[in-house]
Structure 1
Amino acid sequence: MILVDDIATTGATLRAAIAVLEAEGISVVGAVALCAAERRDAPQKTEWKLTGERG
């Protein structure tokens, strides 16, 4: 299963949903967020390289 979320801020909702699904025996192979929100109380993030590494 690929899990789809409408917006991701911290990723907590995706992690919780994955935990519930996997506890029920459903294999989650990936997750996608349609939009990412910037938290105002979090430090500024660096840009991601295409490899997924921070840089």
Structure 2
Amino acid sequence: MDIHAPRPAITRAVRLLGGSGVRSFCRRKYWSDHPHGATASTTVALAAAGLLDIFTSG
């Protein structure tokens, strides 16, 4: 793998933006009345991102 290849960085940026979009959607749809909705949705999103990274990177 070439150390200067931009593909891993672009892939991670796309995942980050996609995760932010999903988190925002879930925050508005499922946790709108919950006082700690932002914290809960961020925790779930970070856990999902961590698991995805483990499964894709090994």
Structure 1 length-normalised TM: 0.34
* Structure with a larger share of its residues in strand: 1
Structure number with greater Rg is 2
Structure 2 length-normalised TM: 0.32
Specify which structure has the bigger relative contact order, considering alpha-carbon pairs within 8 angstroms and separated by 6 or more residues. 1
